[in-house]
Structure 1
Amino acid sequence: MCPSPHPSGRRWDGSHVSTSRRRSLRVDPDSGSRLLRCAVNGSCRECGNLVEWYVRSNERLVRLHPQELPVSQVPKACRWHISSGVAHPAGDGSGWCRLPHALLCPARAAPPSVPQLSGLRRSMAIRTRRLLDAGALAPLAAPPDSPPAGATACRPARPIVQLLYVRYLAFRPVDEIQCVAQTRRRRRCPATLLSPGAPGGTWSLAPVNATSGQLTLPSDVMAVYSLSALPYQEQLRWRAQRCLQHAAALTAGDMAVADWEPFDPFRHHAHIHTRLPTHGRRPGRSGPALRRARS
């Protein structure tokens, strides 16, 4: 005979029955993003290893190594810590710290200041080689954070895009910027922002400055993919990094953070191109218009 619980919420001896209320993790319906974590997982486009995106105190994004390391293995100038979901470039006084992925990326030159991390860097290079051999990672002709090797390379790997009167540095070429929305199969949307059914921007040569409030540097002009001529709603779609289908679907969540980095001519001087792209047809710009821009 199995005893049945008393309907009054007390045991047979009269003591109270303590029950824990189950609470499910939910997202506010009015939230603009459906990301439940402050650290967004992803993979490096250059080496294919796992990274975590965090927001810094200046609202910029930083890629960190997904694992913590002992502070004895990391130089003091390279230590990072996470506090309340925000990444800070310093130690927190504990015996563990985080490390930027740029110091460990096998696709980049090894910095001379961190020789003690050569073992971890070597293991990441082995994983990159396995991805290349399996065809899961496409080899890059040149790292995105380095200037082009030859003068004929006119397709910027990280172009400068101007939208909503602000200039940003994109992490991918213009025709490869991917939508960040979540599909019904809980995967990232494979569509790109630049599609045949959507208006595109125009390439033009502009003075080397970040925004309209900064002084122009005493150097040459730079190539900028301008979206200022597009309607306001279209520029908002590019800023939210959503394709045409998911721009209208307000219920679709985000699978990644929009990878727009505010352009700084001093920090991003290596990505400044003084010529207009010539490889392939540029959307939104015809031949006569291109000749007028070059003249």
Structure 2
Amino acid sequence: MCSDTAVPGRRWDGTPTRTPRVRALHVAPDSPTRLVRSAQPGRCRDCGNRIDWFPHADTTDNGRFASLHPHELLAVGVPATIRWHVGSGTAHPAHDGTPWCRIPHTALCPARHAPAAPTPQITALRRHLALHTRRLINNGTFTAHPAPPAPAWKPAAAEQCRPARPVVQLLCVRYLAMHPVDAIRCVSQTRQRRRCTRTVLDTNTPAGVWTLLPAAPPSGRQCALPTGLMAVYDLTHLPYSEQLRWRHQHCPDHTASGAADLALAEWEPFDPLLHHQHIHTRLPHSTHTRYHHRA
């Protein structure tokens, strides 16, 4: 039996009938990154467990990102050397004095060695992640594929003509790409709230030039660097706006659209010592790019 004296906006028992207003995600004007917060989670390539990507607060880290465990932990059970905290969307490798802290995934990854003197909380969490990795492998949802070593008998002429991870030079910096040049995908968000399917390389915009450059650029390092020439996809001859578009990993439609990013730009600063296996001594064969031999 319903009451005839119900107040407008309330149910018969007096509870409010208001429903929470649905708010769409947006990028704050003072945010240090254009990445939507709900799009930052990912999965570790070595163990398949969930991680959260955050821009590193240290500006001297060459724009790299930190992979943190997705949950906060009690700071009492975490060694001080691996305590992190997140502030204003960036990760700081230090404790902020609160009872909780974040921890890098590298300290918990079952595929890596345990940190020195792990606490019982860290040991239990590593065991939990190891069991979850085993469950993912048994279910067929995750497969660890270690990179096989290159055979010693492979001749130099059989070198791949399409580098899987090419070296790209833009804004006077060399980067190691995660995908071939024609497969680098835009990271912007579409109106359907999905990642753009277009590639950064577009037939209607100026393209880069494959050229041979010294493998070891001039630097102040006092160590033996690789010598000789290497294939580099050079973009330095393009206008600054075009190089910036490549650095942000946007297609021409999302260059100045203001749309949020649904993924992190996958550029990795190239180091000839760490990435020597990605150095190619001859130019790739492709019908979509130009070539130029530079002494």
Does TM, scored on the shorter chain, surpass 0.5? yes
Q: Secondary structure at the match of 1:269?
A: coil
Q: Pick from 220, 226, 239: which aligns with 1:220?
A: 226
Taking the aligned partners of 1:34 and 1:165, their CA distance within structure 2 comes to: 23
The reply to whether residue 58 of structure 1 matches residue 58 of structure 2 is yes
Distance 2:31 2:92 in 1: 26
Q: C-alpha separation between the residues in 1 aligned to 2:100 and 2:275?
A: 34
Cα deviation for residue 84 of structure 1 reads 3.4
Change (3 A) 1:53 1:228: same
Distance 1:284-1:73 versus aligned 2 partners, 3 A rule: farther
Cα-to-partner distance string for 1:114-144 (whole Å, 9 max, x where unaligned)? 644344334334444444555544643339x
Listed as ranges, the matches of 1:242-253 within 5 Å are 242-247=250-255, 250=257, 252-253=259-260
- The structure-2 alpha-carbon separation of the partners of 1:33 and 1:77, relative to structure 1 and needing over 3 Å to count, comes to closer
Hey, what does 1:241 align to over in structure 2?
Answer: 249
Matches within 5 A, 1:34-49: 35-37=35-37, 40-49=40-49
| C-alpha distance in structure 2 between counterparts of 1:137 and 1:34, whole Å | 30
* CA spacing shift, 1:231–1:100, aligned 2, 3 Å: same
The offset of 1:180, in angstroms, is 0.8
Relative to 1, partners in 2 of residues 1:30 and 1:274: Cα closer, same or farther, differing over 3 Å? closer
Residue equivalent to 1:13: none
Distance 1:150 1:193, change over 3 A: farther
Letter matched to residue 41 of structure 2:
N
Instruction: Go from structure 1 to structure 2 and tell me whether the alpha carbon gap of 1:280 and 1:164 turns closer, same or farther (over 3 Å shift).
Output: closer
Q: Which residue of 2 aligns with 1:254?
A: 261
Distance of aligned partners of 1:95 and 1:185 in 2 relative to their CA distance in 1, 3 Å threshold: same
Aligned: 1:109 with 2:112: yes
SS of residue paired to 2:42: strand
Which consecutive unaligned segments of at least 5 residues does structure 2 have?
9-20
Paired position in structure 1 for 2:200: 193
Amino acid paired to 2:97? G
Distance 2:173 2:134 in 1: 38
Residue in 2 aligned with 1:14?
Answer: none
Q: 1:98 to 1:90 in 2, by over 3 A?
A: same
Which residue number corresponds to residue 121 of structure 1?
126
Within the alignment, does 1:162 sit opposite 2:165 as a pair?
no
Query: How far is the alpha carbon of 1:46 from its aligned partner?
Result: 4.0
Relative to structure 1, is the Cα distance of residues 149 and 77 closer, same or farther in structure 2, using a 3 angstrom cutoff? farther
Cross-structure match for 1:93 = 97
Does the CA-based 8 Å contact 2:212-2:283 persist in structure 1? no
Alignment CA distance shift 1:206-1:179 (3 Å): same
Give the conservation status (yes or no) of the 8 Å contact 1:39–1:53: no
Deviates more, 1:49-58 or 1:251-260: 251-260
CA distance in 2 between partners of 1:4 and 1:96 (Å) = 45
Unaligned runs of 5+ in 1: 6-21
- SS of the equivalent of 1:42 reads strand
Q: Match of 2:216?
A: 208
Indicate how the Cα distance of structure 1 residues 46 and 230 shifts in structure 2: closer, same or farther if over 3 A, else same.
Answer: farther
- CA distance in structure 1 between the partners assigned to 2:264 and 2:281 by the alignment: 27
Provide the C-alpha distance between the structure 1 equivalents of 2:182 and 2:49, rounded to a whole number of angstroms. 23
* Partner of residue 229 from structure 1, selected from 225, 237, 240: 237
Look up the equivalent residue of 1:168 and give its one-letter code.
Answer: Y
Partners in 2 of 1:134 and 1:281 — Cα distance?
40
Letter in 2 for 1:204: L
Count of equivalent residues: 262
Q: Deviations for 1:198-225, whole angstroms, at most 9, x for unmatched residues? A: 634425343434xx7x436642146544
CA RMSD of the aligned region, Å?
4.3
The normalised TM-score by structure 1 is 0.66
User: Percent identity among equivalent residues?
Assistant: 45
What secondary structure sits across from 1:82 in the alignment?
strand
1:128/1:284 CA distance change after superposition, 3 Å:
farther
Query: Secondary structure, in 3 states, of the residue corresponding to 1:270?
Result: coil
